[in-house]
């Protein structure tokens, strides 16, 4: 085994984000290996980060301490089954970042007895501002939990869930969540233009307001409800706007949206398990 080494199977955007985050966090790039069928992409990754480009998946995982499965869910079964013998021989910690593929299916493909962690990162991981939910199988020890957490923490916040079914809720909240905020920003920007602002001013003011609100929520000890109350003067403009949003059923819309995303995540998991 290559001590303290990490192999990425798949060199797409999320793998590149994790590799970049790990190196920025001080991880030795000479201990990182990556395999990808796209040889041009593989070469670019190796040159950019000074990491090892593996000839194929088999050689990439042979002596790895940690293997990150970073391929699309639709091809994960074929990749995992092909790696099963090598993984059973070396017994690394395996981390899957494939959405919707459950632990039972993964262990069926790679074989029982492998320490497996499922993770659900989101796209802001690409700028080291991600939010990732993690779930450990029964075979994962404390040291391996720490390893998995340190890898995903390199690109943002991490939270463990003890029940694997909660990964579907994580998917609905933070996995899909960036798109909800993009939609809100899109709507605010469009409304501001209709109110007479030029498009560039509407865009920049919207984006900075979203950034500022998020930073205040992160850095404050107050709950979002308290922060909202603090900026809502009785009889003022904010109170008027919030009243319209409440009357329009904003809270119920978000509840229904997250429930719909969670239900779809559960459906997709069942479909992927059968393919």
How far apart, in whole angstroms, are the C-alpha atoms of residue 108 and residue 185?
A: 42
Residue stretches of the annotated binding site: 9-14, 57, 70-73
Predicted structure pTM score:
0.90
Q: Which tokens in the block code for residue 73?
A: 């869910």
In the 8-state DSSP scheme, what is residue 19? Answer: H
What pLDDT, in 10s, does the model give residues 18-35?
999 999 989 999 999 999
Print burial letters for 186-213: b (CB count within 10 Å at least 16), e (below 16): eebbeebeeeebeeeebbeebeeeeeee
pLDDT band per the 50, 70, 90 thresholds, residue 4: confident
CA–CA gap between residue 217 and residue 37 (Å, rounded): 42
The DSSP call for residue 127 is G
Neighbouring CB atoms inside 10 A of 175's CB total 23
Question: Residues forming the annotated binding site for NADPH?
Answer: 57
Q: Residues marked as binding for NADP(+)?
A: 9-14, 70-73
Q: pLDDT category, 1, cuts 50, 70, 90?
A: low
How far apart, in whole angstroms, are the C-alpha atoms of residue 43 and residue 54?
10
User: By the 8 A CB rule, do 206 and 181 touch?
Assistant: no
CB burial readout 70-86, b (16+ within 10 A) else e: bbebeebbebbeebeeb
Q: pLDDT per residue over 124-183, tens digit each?
A: 999 999 999 999 999 999 999 999 999 999 999 999 999 999 999 999 999 999 999 999
């Amino acid at each position: 085994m290559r001590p303290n080494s990490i192999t990425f199977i798949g060199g797409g955007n999320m793998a590149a984000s994790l590799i970049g985050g790990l190196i920025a966090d001080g991880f030795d790039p000479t201990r990182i290996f990556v395999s990808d069928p796209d040889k041009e992409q593989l070469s670019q990754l190796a040159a950019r980060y000074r990491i090892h480009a593996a000839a194929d998946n088999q050689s990439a995982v042979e002596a790895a301490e940690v293997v990150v499965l970073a391929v699309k869910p639709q091809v994960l079964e074929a990749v995992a089954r092909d790696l099963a013998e090598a993984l059973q021989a070396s017994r690394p910690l395996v981390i899957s970042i494939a959405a919707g593929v459950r632990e039972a299916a993964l262990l069926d493909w790679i074989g029982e007895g492998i320490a497996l962690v499922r993770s659900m990162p989101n796209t802001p991981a690409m700028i080291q501002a991600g939010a990732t939910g993690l779930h450990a199988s029964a075979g994962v020890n404390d040291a391996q939990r720490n390893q998995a957490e340190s890898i995903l923490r390199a690109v943002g916040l991490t939270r463990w869930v003890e029940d694997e079914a909660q990964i579907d809720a994580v998917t609905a909240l933070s996995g899909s969540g960036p798109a909800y905020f993009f939609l809100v920003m899109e709507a605010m920007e469009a409304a501001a233009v209709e109110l007479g602002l030029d498009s560039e001013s509407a865009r920049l003011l919207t984006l900075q307001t979203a950034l500022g609100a998020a930073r205040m929520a992160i850095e404050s000890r107050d709950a979002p409800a308290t922060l909202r109350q603090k900026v809502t003067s009785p009889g003022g403009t904010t109170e008027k706007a919030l009243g319209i949003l409440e009357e329009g059923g904003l809270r119920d819309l978000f509840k229904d949206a997250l429930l719909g995303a969670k239900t779809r995540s559960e459906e997709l998991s069942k479909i992927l398990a059968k393919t």
